[in-house]
Structure 1
């Protein structure tokens, strides 16, 4: 939060409320600018982080088969409209030379990338690229499913519509059988 100017956010929120015709001195809105500034600092905390930092500690295990953490909930903010989108991510990789990360590190990487003004496509590729860079696995496959409030609340107005993005790196780029294996596990309940 060190680089976040809370006062500037508060002033901007007041200006937005005034611009839409609200009375910023109304009881229900008195503390809204302060609450929004704190919320934005939290929601955009990923701007102060490097997702690679979560992979500074790795373990060596005699395992060079699929590792999949699925149904990882996340939320982010659409950089085009500054409204939320949220969903689940599924992160798979095949370790090489026994180099594995703690399972929670995959979720922490996702959260770090998602907590900034973002695009779903960028989240998907950044998570995959970070894991490829830091673990040097045989391959990484990341699937992200999300509902975007910019499609639910405005514009198209289609609640429940999900956007799915997928990124394959390494062995998953060429091997459809391996990709299908991960997709089968993702769909299992």
Structure 2
């Protein structure tokens, strides 16, 4: 379902969709993607990544990378998250993705209620845009699949935490493993559950 947006001109040229993944987890970077879809090569089934199965997300991610006019994935590190806070880190990741696009967009649609500073083009924020704007949906899928892939790498490095199961979110399993093993280098120290664990636990995993 398309919606009319104040300040957005659908005839203005190339439109990039921007979204992020990983604001809520206790560990790992926050990822973002920017996508400029090709009207001549539509992609059926685009939707908010959270409403798709993991298998469907992977299928659509491959299709997006094949058919989009341009796409880019970027991230902000755990150190950056702890330094500037998760909201600003998410904005930073989206700015990096948008500004790195091979084709410069004329405008951007950003999921949420904020627009990152210093974008390479004018932008409009749209709450729940990942469910209504195909370009944002595509960005949400690329960001989510990239972060999930990173979490599988974390699982290979730190199997004791179960990153393959919870993808860094603060599930009962993750909190249990965090209490048992302490924090590793990929845990976000600025997040309360990690900080509380560190206060009560003198060991960390390198």
Common fold, TM-score beyond 0.5? no
Higher Rg of the two aligned structures: 1
Higher relative contact order (CA 8 A, sep 6+): 2
Between Structure 1 and Structure 2, which shows a larger proportion of strand residues?
1
